[in-house]
Structure 1
Amino acid sequence: MDVIDLYYLHRWDKTVPIAESVGGLVDLMGAGKIRAIGLSEVSTTRLREAQQIAEIAAVQNEYSLWTRNPELGLVEACEQTGVALVPFSPLARGFLTGALPDPQAFESGDLRRGMPRFQPDHWPGNAALLPAWTALAAEAGCKPGQLALAWLLSRGERVVPIPGTTDPDHLDENLAAVHLTLSDDVLARADALVNHATVVGPRYSAAQSREVDADTFEEDA
């Protein structure tokens, strides 16, 4: 293609000033190679710094019921400045579908094997949330994954989750979440059931956390 509509800086190199990295993307815009600039896994502070250099169209950070880091300021900042917040892993890496196998059965190359929440010391506590979660979805008349996506969509007009799948049936299921009408009570119960206080373990290991710049809860720092 001749031009890229939205080009993300997927990981900010912490040894390079954000102004320099974003400045490089501004040069690409000037050359007509990209139309808009996006950031990924950045903190609210870094977004504000980048906005001093260029207009930022989107921020792609992990956000779901079980990963609430964007609520530490990023959701509000995006809403205030007209930036699209694009949650990746909106289904909590499959957890919120209610259909995951035991993580011990993950294939050797599965990235989740190295994530604390799927490891033996944390997984039982997280798995204990699933019966109530699937029951709430059934009560709401939808699939567990649809409930998770509908909750995200309720967070604001600028929140645009991007669930991934290789299954056409799952794709149709995910798209149907856009048309769900859920009561405030159901959304509030979902929010209370799966959140930072009820999920066991940080989202990343210490080594993985050093690679990203997203806002972090104090106990996970």
Structure 2
Amino acid sequence: MAVPVPRMKLGSQGLEVSAQGLGCMGMSFAYGPPKPEPDMIALLRHAIATGVTFLDTSDFYGPHTNELLLGKALQDGLREKVQLATKFGISSEGGWDVRGDPAYVRAACEGSLRRLGVDCIDLYYQHRIDTRVPIEVTMGELKKLVEEGNVKYIGLSEASASTIRRAHAVHPISAVQLEWSIWSRDVEEDIIPTCRELGIGIVAYSPLGRGFLSGGAKLVDSLSEQDSRKNFPRFRPGNLDKNAQIFEHVYAMATKKGCTPSQLALAWVHHQGSDVCPIPATTKIENFNQNVGALAVKLTTEDMTELESYAAAGNVQGERYPQMGSTWKCSETSPLSSWKSE
């Protein structure tokens, strides 16, 4: 029997989304070769029909091809049924760079609108923080895009607590996207409390640990040579062997509760609060259906504590990324007083 997908308020400005979203990156980018377009369009339309209407993409995924894919999937009157989130800030022109200058912000938004085939982006995130540009300057241009009707709501991704505060003072932030799962919990110390203090919604990406919490160490054996996860520290030999023990515990608990490991890991995120929306990614309809089933998994306080003990900080081996310099740990921008516009 299909599990109903409830709705939730994301942030305090009026954005309403499905309580679970769909991360679309892997359909086109990073996790091996791009998947067949007809299959991905079928998956996206299946998700919408199921009630998962919060779709997450970025101009960096491809680059650009993932937005084009969503644009095709949302034809035939489906646009009005979804809440479309995309991102700007990682430039692939002339090499990898992070940009938040006003001219780039505007050009990126115009490009995304064109590729997605829409008049307005529901939620527009800054994908990574440009430390060279005061966050107030970037937010000033985003505020203009809202006022002009190109964007409805503004978000940040991988931003520190102080960056979030400074941005929110310029224009309300509706959502902060961050990596949050059983084995990635460092955001709980400062960023999550800041979001809750300011009434900002929390969007958890990689809630399944990039697939590790679904399949464990054997996942790595199935990855193509083009899959970026092969270079992630937690998937490297040595670290992988130790992290495999975390999955074994999760698997055993899931078996006991009559659900899959991925459903258990997703349920843990859902139980963090009514302001949290996980956006698990998949490229298969059967895995999508399984992920939606997590909404029906109930966890007690004891279950939560037990799960968290498996992946306590000392048990998780390796950083989230090969280079942590582009994450919230390094997202501080210079003060506005130092900015000289060109």
Determine helix, strand or coil for the equivalent of 1:87.
Answer: strand
1:212 is matched by which residue type in structure 2? T
CA RMSD of aligned residues (A): 1.7
Same amino acid, percent of matched pairs? 36
Q: Which whole-Å CA distance do the structure 2 matches of 1:201 and 1:99 have between them?
A: 15
**Is residue 98 of structure 1 aligned with residue 215 of structure 2?**
yes
Q: Which whole-Å CA distance do the structure 1 matches of 2:263 and 2:200 have between them?
A: 24
Alignment match of 1:211 (pick from 300, 321, 326): 326
| Cα pair distance change 1:145/1:120, threshold 3 Å | same
Q: Which whole-Å CA distance do the structure 2 matches of 1:116 and 1:77 have between them?
A: 28
Shift of 1:30: 1.1
Determine helix, strand or coil for the equivalent of 2:276.
Answer: coil
Shift of 1:89: 0.3
TM-score, normalised relative to structure 2: 0.60
In the other structure, the counterpart of 1:152 is 269
**Gaps in structure 1 of 5+ consecutive residues:** 217-221
In the other structure, the counterpart of 2:280 is 163
Determine helix, strand or coil for the equivalent of 1:170.
Answer: helix
Shift of 1:76: 1.3
1:91 is matched by which residue type in structure 2? L
Bigger share in strand: 2
In the other structure, the counterpart of 2:193 is 76
Shift of 1:130: 2.1
Alignment match of 2:167 (pick from 26, 47, 50): 50
1:19-58 matches, within 5 Å, as 19-58=136-175
Residue range with higher mean Cα deviation, 67-76 or 103-112: 103-112
In the other structure, the counterpart of 1:64 is 181
1:172-191 matches, within 5 Å, as 172-191=289-308
Q: Deviations over 1:4-44 (max 9, x none)?
A: 11111111111111111111110101111001000001111
Structure 1 stretches of at least 4 aligned residues deviating more than 4 Å after TM superposition: none
Alignment match of 2:238 (pick from 113, 121, 130): 121
Q: Which whole-Å CA distance do the structure 2 matches of 1:130 and 1:157 have between them?
A: 26
**Number of residue pairs the alignment of both structures matches:** 214
In the other structure, the counterpart of 1:219 is none
Shift of 1:180: 1.5
- Pick 1 or 2: higher relative contact order, CA cutoff 8 A, min separation 6: 1
| Cα pair distance change 1:60/1:201, threshold 3 Å | same
Q: Which whole-Å CA distance do the structure 2 matches of 1:83 and 1:102 have between them?
A: 34
**Larger Rg belongs to:** 2
**Gaps in structure 2 of 5+ consecutive residues:** 1-117, 332-342
1:126-141 matches, within 5 Å, as 126-141=243-258
Shift of 1:104: 5.4
Determine helix, strand or coil for the equivalent of 1:11.
Answer: coil
Shift of 1:160: 0.5
Q: Which whole-Å CA distance do the structure 2 matches of 1:69 and 1:166 have between them?
A: 28
